[in-house]
Structure 1
């Protein structure tokens, strides 16, 4: 029982870290990355289809993404989908492939992005603290129902607090790495 509570807390904390990293993939840095395009859906014969399933994406230069669709008539649909996305990118095409140039980010824009990154980090910390609270409540319930002893409950709370501290530190490291990536010119 005790191990199940700790295991559930660890699982919740792992999910918080994964969600944070996935959220960071959508943050546009000064460098081109195909992961930015993961959420873009293109109208493919009436079906919203992920961009990476209708063409080949490449990063030939640090500030350029090229998309070569498997069907040339999709170029206009790809351009529309990119313009509709909230990434603020302007695609251009030559009839064969779509080019997306990434403009250099201004200092002000990079600082705004860092604020957003810190906010995302705080949200992940809140999720981790919620996992800690749920685990502690689970341990108290087990102790109240006499399924574990008071000593086991205290040991469990200490273990969960240590786990929380470890995951909060991991979030701080991930946030600092992303901040450095954004502030890099």
Structure 2
């Protein structure tokens, strides 16, 4: 319906129209993802900045749309967003013997395309993957319902190029 067609506009209709225009103008901001920016040490921070430079423009068919606040330590693709955070602390589950032995159903170690990951199912249904055996920890959150294998396959070359194998501080 075109609200400008009518010659007579009721006084009550104007505030509703202003509210509608204001709300639609703000809706795109509401759709943007946000991510907490990690605070890594100098060495890991530099590796993460290197990673940001080689991350793909597209992951699992989704275009890169970085979360707010803007940072070289975070990246995002799609909506709902696949979120990457580099320089995160080591997940406590990485030291849990139950995980290493495969006895923790919510945290599973594994590898994709030469990158080792710890997979953790989150309460909301998302999956969080954190790199293992790299000089900086990279965390990737994959929204519920999305196949994570394509995401990890697409990110593996950049991670291998920018974050060398080893044990993070």
Q: Normalising to structure 1: TM-score of the pair? A: 0.26
TM-score by length of 2: 0.27
- Greater RCO, CA 8 A, separation 6+: 1
Higher helix share: 1
More strand per residue: 1 or 2? 2
